[in-house]
């Protein structure tokens, strides 16, 4: 029997799954009326990990997390910035 992560990875070739990543920074802000945009920085990685939720999420700074994500790019002030779009996040 496959785990939910294995099913996701099987369906979507571009997804990446990592276990036990340490969060060094966690911020959240209102994206619009109904959503909060969360941004995580991970130890040893320069790219921000982003996800949206309808509610605020507990502070993850210093915690270990398992994440499923894919590589994406945002354009900020005319510069292309590599970001990671989180599909699934769980505390380790």
Domains of the chain, with CATH numbers? 4-91 (2.40.50)
pLDDT of residue 32: 78
Instruction: Report the alpha-carbon distance of residue 57 to residue 10 in Å, rounded.
Output: 28
Q: Tokens 């790219």 belong to which residue?
A: 47
pTM: 0.82
pLDDT of residue 10: 63
Average pLDDT rounded to a whole number, residues 6-24: 80
Q: Is the pLDDT of residue 52 over 70?
A: yes
Higher pLDDT, 33 or 6: 33
* Encoded tokens for 25: 């920074």
Q: How far is CA 55 from CA 30, 36, 38, 66, in A?
A: 9, 6, 10, 20
Instruction: Report the alpha-carbon distance of residue 35 to residue 26 in Å, rounded.
Output: 16
Q: Name the band, by pLDDT with cuts 50, 70 and 90, for residue 7.
A: low
pLDDT of residue 12: 66
């Amino acid at each position: 029997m496959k785990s939910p992560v294995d099913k996701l990875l099987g369906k979507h070739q571009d997804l990446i799954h990592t276990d036990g990543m340490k969060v060094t920074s966690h911020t959240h802000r209102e994206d619009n009326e109904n959503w909060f945009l969360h941004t995580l920085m991970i130890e040893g990685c320069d790219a921000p990990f982003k996800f949206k939720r309808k509610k605020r999420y507990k502070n993850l700074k210093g915690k270990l997390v398992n994440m499923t994500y894919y590589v994406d790019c945002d354009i900020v002030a005319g510069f292309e910035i590599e970001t990671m779009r989180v599909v699934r996040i769980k505390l380790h």
